[in-house]
Amino acid sequence: MIVDFEYFAPKTVAEALSLLAQHKGEAKIIAGGQSMLVVMKRGLLTTENLVDIKGIDALDYIKYDEGKGLRIGPLTIHRAIEKSPIIQKHYRVLSEMEHNLATVQTRNWGTIGGNLCHGDPAGDPAPVLIALNAKLKIASSKGERIIETEDFSQDYLEVALEPDEMLIEIQVPTPPPHTGTASEKLMVMKGDMGIVGAAVSITLNPKDGVCKDARIALSNCGSTPLRAKKAEKKLIGKVLNDSLLIEAGEVASEETAPPADVHGSSEYRKEMVGVFVRRAAIKALEKAKAA
Ligand SMILES: Cc1cc2nc3c(=O)[nH]c(=O)nc-3n(C[C@H](O)[C@H](O)[C@H](O)COP(=O)(O)OP(=O)(O)OC[C@H]3O[C@@H](n4cnc5c(N)ncnc54)[C@H](O)[C@@H]3O)c2cc1C
């Protein structure tokens, strides 16, 4: 049952931030409502004031600049990211990740900002954005700040936002030359939430083929998305081959202690981390070689 609340529909960011400041601690943002309504209907969240930002057109955009990289407004729906020609050309992994996120109907209404701010560790976008070294721009009526995507999730359904703050931009840098990024998730059916997921980014030195940098991020292995830093170290500084990628998967698996859930035991999900890191790393390496 949803408890009564005051409803506001600001048309500008300034208006929304002013409402959040005015009702500090007693207001919640709603965008598409796909995650928010679930927690409200279950009584996990009540609020006196609901600030509906879906009508703020200025937060719905995809912009690309070769130097600055990609900027995505938080109200951009998943389907727009999946279908964006700019993203398909320069950040294909984002489009591929979105293609496997939920159904077309869900992708046509749910927003990237809502997905990140919901703080579900099973969410698909966060690990890919972490692998791409993306940053998030946060605003309140007092000013703006930038946070690394990997520092944004704090705990299960908790993110690093103060009650008067909102996410206003996702910033994805231009990947270094000879970089490939790929993501894979274990699903029962296409579009399901991942039982586990992995995103891997690999940068090669074109002269000798040595891996200059690697970033590995995992979903649904704990209360937040995780970075598998020991597995990254297995790859950096080496000429990559199949056995190294298998080893990186095994190390990533050892770095996790996923809880058991209805989809699988902790041991099964841990094992699958190894498999899905390896699969994503194979694809990332292929892309890096072709880049
Ligand atoms: C059937 C179904 C299947 C799904 N499958 C997947 C899947 O396979 N993979 C996956 O990753 N996700 C999946 N999802 C989750 C889906 O991606 C999210 O529900 C959706 O993106 C949330 O966006 P929203 O605009 O509806 O956010 P809302 O539900 O409106 O908001 C979610 C949270 O974010 C906060 N919020 C929203 N925007 C902002 C902002 N700009 N600043 C600060 N706080 C903000 C809200 O206060 C709320 O806490 C699925 C959801 C459904 C309903």
At the top level of CATH, which class does the domain 179-290 belong to?
Answer: alpha beta
Query: Counting beta carbons within 10 angstroms of the beta carbon of residue 113, is it exposed (0 to 12), middle (13 to 18) or buried (19 or more)?
Result: buried
24 alpha carbon – ligand 1 mean position (Å): 22
237 alpha carbon – ligand 1 mean position (Å): 38
52 alpha carbon – ligand 1 mean position (Å): 13
* Cα–Cα dist 258/50, whole Å: 34
The CB-side HSE value for 243 (13 A sphere, CA atoms) comes to 0
* Cα–Cα dist 228/186, whole Å: 18
DSSP state of 2: P
**Residue-wise DSSP of 191-213:** TSPPSSEEEEEEEE-TTT-BEEE
115 alpha carbon – ligand 1 mean position (Å): 4
- β-bridge mates for residue 148, sequence order: 135
Whole-structure pTM value:
0.98
- Domain span(s) for CATH 3.30.465.10 in the chain: 58-172
Which residue shows structure tokens 């292995």?
221
Closest Cα to atom 51 of ligand 1 = 34
The CB-side HSE value for 127 (13 A sphere, CA atoms) comes to 34
Which ligand 1 atom sits closest to the C-alpha of 118? Answer: 33
- Domain span(s) for CATH 3.30.390.50 in the chain: 179-290
Per-residue pLDDT of the chain (291 residues; tens, 9 = 90+): 788 899 999 999 999 999 999 998 899 999 999 999 999 999 888 899 999 999 999 999 999 999 999 999 999 999 999 999 999 999 999 999 999 999 999 999 999 999 999 999 999 999 999 999 999 999 999 999 999 999 999 999 999 999 999 999 999 999 999 999 999 999 988 888 999 999 999 999 999 999 999 999 999 999 999 999 999 999 999 999 999 999 999 999 999 999 998 989 999 999 999 999 999 999 999 999 999
Which residue shows structure tokens 């194979």?
282
Predicted local confidence at residue 24, as pLDDT: 80
Residues touching ligand 1 (Cβ under 6 Å) are 28-36, 74, 101-102, 106, 110-111, 113-115, 117-118, 123-124, 161, 166-167, 191-193
- Domain span(s) for CATH 3.30.43.10 in the chain: 6-52
Closest Cα to atom 49 of ligand 1 = 118
Give the sign of the dihedral formed by CA 209, CA 213, CA 219, CA 223.
Answer: positive
* Cα–Cα dist 149/152, whole Å: 5
- Select the CATH number that applies to the domain covering 58-172 from these four: 2.60.40.10, 3.30.465.10, 3.30.230.70, 1.10.3720.10: 3.30.465.10
CB 191 within 8 A of CB 150: no
Architecture of the domain delimited by 6-52? 2-Layer Sandwich (3.30)
Which ligand 1 atom sits closest to the C-alpha of 107? Answer: 17
